[in-house]
Each structure stands twice: as structure tokens, then as C-alpha cells.
Structure 1
Amino acid sequence: MECSNFMKGVGTKLASHGFAVFGIDYEGHGRSMGARCYIKRFDNIVQDCSSHFKSICAQEEYKGKRRFLYGESMGGAVALLTHKKDPTFWHGALLVAPMCKINEKVKPHPIVISVLTTVEDVIPKWKIVPAKDVIDSAFKDPIKREEVRGNKLIYQQKPRLKTALEMLRTSMKLEESLNEITLPFFVLHGEADIVTDPEVSRALYKRAGSSDKKIKLYPGMWHALTAGEPDENIDAVFRDIIEWLDERAGDGGPHAVNLAGQVSPPVDDPMVKTMKPVKRPLNVRLCGLRNGRRTAT
């Protein structure tokens, strides 16, 4: 269901506070080409995001700016894996209900998973994975829930077989390697979330190797903290997000030291400049920019 169109509200709010915000539609998601919501390899998504966002950071107007990752749900997993590809490049990450583990309440029975695994290479694109309605489970506000249902760019059918298994494996892999997370981060999670498990966000906070880490659990809130709650709840979440960013977004030089005590590589690193264009067709969206003082990606 991930697409930049759905995330436009988040980008607009961040841009209104002086952050340059960039998004990307994963292959097969939103307006990007490819089979709808088909993920052959989760690492393809991570590589696309890493290459695209690094190419933006290498642009003259953003050199020397601090660089932050932002991810919700599956995007949280993408953000963490993007960090792991280059642990010293990013200055921090905002992780909203990150997919570090699929909640047992929405995950298929282990026997079903075992059966599906045996045929994933035979019928990878089939929409046969039994799953509860994520929109019903994620969006508390009924009006916002129906608005999401009316968004034609959001995938609302059963998960494709390969996609579901890739997401499951990715979440399991992340859960097993939380100690390898070293960048500064702020993880936000609704305590009543039944899509991704808030207990794993607690585990991320406890086990991550980061020296600068923060967690906030919101009693009674569901999965879609920034789009599915009553307005007053959403406003409270964004106040916390902006406060965390403002404390860490002071301008830094090309070799700015991030808050984990690691030296970040210069954004004009030859490895960044010479990256080959991504071959997979993608739709890139600039959500907003004001003043260009600070960069949040």
C-alpha cells in the first residue's frame, strides 16, 4: 500500500518547518512501473532508495546539510536497511511503527506460511496470501479510513505471494539484527497497533547499538500514527517529530560528525557522484521545500 501520494501530507508538514523532503515510489508501487505491489527481492527496494537519496544529497544545494531517513511501517524497514548499507552516511532516522516484525494477529498461520513457501517460485505474483484488512486494522478514524480506500494508487487487494514472503523474511531478519543499528533514531509506535508489533520497537530501542536513541509509545493509538488518528493525536505526533529533528538538524560541514559519534562521509564522495542510474523505472516526488536550510529524506 506504500506510495508517495499517500505520504504527501507528511512531506508537506515537514517542509513547512524548513526541511527539504524527498520521496520515491518503490517499483510496482504508486505511479512507478512494474507489477502492482510485487516485490521480487526486498533488497531491490533498499538499493533504489539508497541510490536515489544519495544522489540528492550529492547535489550542490544540499552538500553539508544533515541527512535524515524517514519511514513508516514497511518504510521503517527500508530506512533501517538503507542505513545498514552505509552505516555512517545518515545523521538519523525517524521510524514510525516500523516493520521490524509482522504482528502475530495479522500474520498467516505457520502451516500456511510453510505451504506457500513451497510454491513461491512457481506462482510468485498470485494474490493468494490470506491476510486481514490492513486498512481496517491501521486507521482508527473512520473518515480517514474511507479516504484511504478512495485512493486508487494504494494497493488494497490480497498480498502477492512473493511480496508477502519477502516482507516476512525481511522483518525476521531485522528482528534478529537490531543490535547492528547504530545511527541516531526516534521510534514512534501506537500501543494499540495490531499491524506491526510495538514490542519489537521496544526491543529495537533496547538492543540497538546507537548512543542516541529515543522511543515514544502512544497509549490507545493504532498503526497509522500520522494519517489514521483523530487530528489532535496526529498533531501531537508531529510535534514530537519536529522537536526531535530540530534538536539534531543544525547545519554541519561535509564531514559532519553524527550523533552516534561516527564521521559521516562527504556528500561529494566520488562513490556518490559516479553512481549508475537505477534501471528500474521509478516515479520520484518532491514533497516540499522551504528555504533549503535542512534536509530530511
Structure 2
Amino acid sequence: MILSRTPTFRPPTAPPFHRKSSSPSKHPQKMHLPSFLPSKLHPKTPKTHFRVTAGKRLPMEGLSQEMCAIASQNLDHAPARRRVRSAFIDVHQQLDHCLFKMDHGGIRTEEWYGRNSRGMEIFCKSWLPKVGDRIKGALCFCHGYGSTCTFFFEGIAKRIAASGYAIYAVDYPGFGLSEGLHGYIPNIDELVGDVIEQFTNVKGRSEVKGLPFFVMGESMGGAVSLKIHLKEPDKWDGVILVAPMCKIAEDVMPPAIVLKLLALMSEVLPEAKLFPQKDTSELSYRDPKNRKTAGYNVISYNDNMRSRTAVELLKATSDIETQLDKVSGPVLILHGAEDKVTDPLVSRLLYEKASSKDKTLKLYPDGFHCILQGEPDDRIFTVLDDIVTWLDSRCSPN
């Protein structure tokens, strides 16, 4: 299903898709509360959950004992994560997944560490088109909870860069290769500020100065991208949201007393891994082969959620859901129609409430949560092509 309000882009109509749930125009099915609460405190369990979790580490076949030992070490701090990532670079290049097997020779890559205003090292990476190819615009990427801007995103970035775009991405503090306690978000607005700092630096780079700039986020990265847009509505030429995390259902919001208890726990034991997470890999990756490949993302955070992180993600969604009508720039929303991790009907609600005159919603029939990594190959390429087509229609030649 494709909904679009834009003066310049009319994508071809896909076959209609209807969810079995009630019509969103009457009873919108909203994003469900993450499984943040211990079982004794959790309210009723809804049929459809929203769990922003990386899931348990999937088994990795064919690895030596030495490599398995490397993958299983404590990754609380950045030096360990960086060593593990370096040890697995060659392994990743041999993975049987279209994002690793694509041949995009000539794509220029660069890795560096910027510093945020608190002096922490923030991992940054860029992917540029081949030398001599015109750069049409720049795309800045925000990754999902527990993830990193390396691994799967390497192939995504190369595919889009091959179409003429400069791609830039960062790992949030505490995630991927950046400094900070693994999986820990002490303040979501501070995290957003860190991302803005690095992307502001990117905008001054000579290869993209004066070009259109877009921000793209996946899952929790969609929430980060929305908060960036809301803070800087006039500094971006468009927003791309992939299965975004942007609203919590009222019927599963904990009582006020439970929220107060959560807040207290986050103050007393902010770094404690108090909230058990269920494995959502089967809900995220529709293709079993690609689900298996996800287990090789060895620096992802897949442990129990830390108490402060849980509270900060609740705050983020609560903030965003009150400001959906303030989304004013060009926006492309992409969602798997069968996503049970973040609800596609929330994306429809965002589409309907956004004040933007240039907005497009695409729902992919049968698609799960990870439509850029976990679908059959032809679907992954379709989603990537849809992103490039949308960008092309908004980047006129110099």
C-alpha cells in the first residue's frame, strides 16, 4: 500500500493490503509498550508487542573455538567492541547475504572518531560514490536500538552510494564502536544532541557542502531522526523512516505508580540490566537465512535492557507522539505490513497527522520488521530502490 502527498513524486501503486485488525481510521492500533517491566509489574500482555530489543545472540556455525570465544567476551566498553569487530571483518565478508555479496567496487569509505561535547569518542563512517561520479545529495543514517552503523548497514550504504549519494552514519554513545557503557542511554535528548553534533560537522565537509541533506532512521533510529527533525525542521531536506518507533498504545501504558517506580529504579540503579528481553528475531527477519546471518552482528547489544535506557525510550516515544503534527518536511515512511515489533498502523497515523505537504507511506505486503535486512533478496532490493527513487525526485541536478 502506498499513500503519497507530494508535488513531485508519485510511486507506482502496489497491490492493496488490508490488516486483519480494525480500521486505523476508527481505532488506530498504536505501537505497544516495550517489555520494560518485570513480570510482576507488567500490566496485561497484549497480543501484539513492541519490544525494542536486539534479541539473543543467534548461533554462528563454522566458527573456531577461538572466534566463538572472541564473540562471547564482555562488550561493556568500546575497546572490547572494537577488537571484536576487527576480528570479524573477514568473517562478515563471507556471509551468505545479499548486502554482503553485492559488488560495489569503487565506493569510497572512510572511518573516523569524532568527539561529542563531553569528550567521548563517537564512531563515524562515510560511503561516497566512485571518483568522478556526481554526488546528488547526502544521507545521514541513525541506527536502531542495540545495533550499529556497520554490519548490515555497510551493504545498504554502498547500494545507495552507488546511486550517487554520500552516506554518513554514526554509532550512538554506548553502541557499536563509540565510547560509553554498552546499551546504556542516560539521556535520550543528550543522545540526539550527540548525533546532531556529528551530522553538523558532516555538513561542512567539502564533498557535500551546499547539497541537499536527508536524515534516515530505522526503528529506534526513526525516533532519533524524528527528534532531529523536530529540533532542526529547517536544516533538513527530508526524512526517511524505516519501521519507526514513535508511539505507545494507551491501553498498555503502565499506571502512574508503576511509572514512578520505573523512574525511581532508573535513578537508584540506572545501569542495571533489570528488564528481561524476549528474542524477537523471528518477528524481525522473515527470511530464515537472513535471520541466521543476523547472529554474526557480534557487537550488537542483546542483553537485558538497562533501567535508565528503558525510561529514556519511554520518554522519547511519549515526546514524539505529542508532536506528530509538527513533522513538516518531506517524509518517506517505509514499513512491513506484518511488522509485530513496531506497528505499521502507527506509521499510518504518523502519515495522517504529519503537517507535511510532501509525504509518502509505503507498506510492504508480508514484510516483517527488518525490511532492509531480513526479507527475501528481491524485497530488500525493492525497498532500497524505493529509497533511491524518492531521493532522486528531490535532488535536482546542480
Could you say which TM-score interval applies, normalised by the shorter chain? 0.7 to 0.9
SS in 1 for 2:168: strand
Q: Does 1:26 align with 2:163?
A: no
Higher relative contact order (CA 8 A, sep 6+): 1
* Alignment correspondent of 1:3: 148
- Counterpart amino acid of 1:67? F
Q: Distance in 1 between matches of 2:326 and 2:168?
A: 26
* Alignment correspondent of 1:283: none
SS in 1 for 2:193: helix
Moved over 3 A (4+): 102-105, 107-115
CA RMSD of aligned residues (A): 2.0
SS in 2 for 1:60: coil
Maintained 8 Å contact 1:66/1:251: no
Task: From the CA coordinates, give the structure whose radius of gyration is larger.
Answer: 2
* Alignment correspondent of 1:49: 195
Superposition pairs of residues 1-297 of structure 1, within 5 angstroms: 1-6=146-151, 7-101=153-247, 115-251=261-397
Q: Deviations over 1:130-175 (max 9, x none)?
A: 3322333211222222221222111111111111221122112111
**CA 1:139/1:204 → structure 2, altered by over 3 Å: closer, same or farther?**
same
What is the CA-CA distance between 1:226 and the residue it aligns to?
0.2
Q: Distance in 2 between matches of 1:146 and 1:200?
A: 28
Q: Distance in 1 between matches of 2:253 and 2:377?
A: 32
Identity of aligned residues (%): 40
What is the CA-CA distance between 1:209 and the residue it aligns to?
1.1
- Residue segments in structure 1 that go unaligned for 5+ positions in a row: 253-297
Q: Deviations over 1:97-131 (max 9, x none)?
A: 011025799x8966865543331111111111133
TM-score, structure 1 normalization: 0.79
Q: Distance in 2 between matches of 1:57 and 1:189?
A: 28
SS in 2 for 1:128: strand
Q: Distance in 1 between matches of 2:199 and 2:224?
A: 12
**CA 1:47/1:199 → structure 2, altered by over 3 Å: closer, same or farther?**
same
Maintained 8 Å contact 1:66/1:250: no
Q: Distance in 2 between matches of 1:216 and 1:37?
A: 31
**CA 1:147/1:189 → structure 2, altered by over 3 Å: closer, same or farther?**
same
- Residue segments in structure 2 that go unaligned for 5+ positions in a row: 1-145
Maintained 8 Å contact 1:129/1:158: yes
Maintained 8 Å contact 2:219/2:243: yes
**CA 1:26/1:140 → structure 2, altered by over 3 Å: closer, same or farther?**
same
Q: Deviations over 1:235-261 (max 9, x none)?
A: 111121111111012246xxxxxxxxx
What is the CA-CA distance between 1:193 and the residue it aligns to?
0.9
Q: Distance in 1 between matches of 2:247 and 2:205?
A: 35
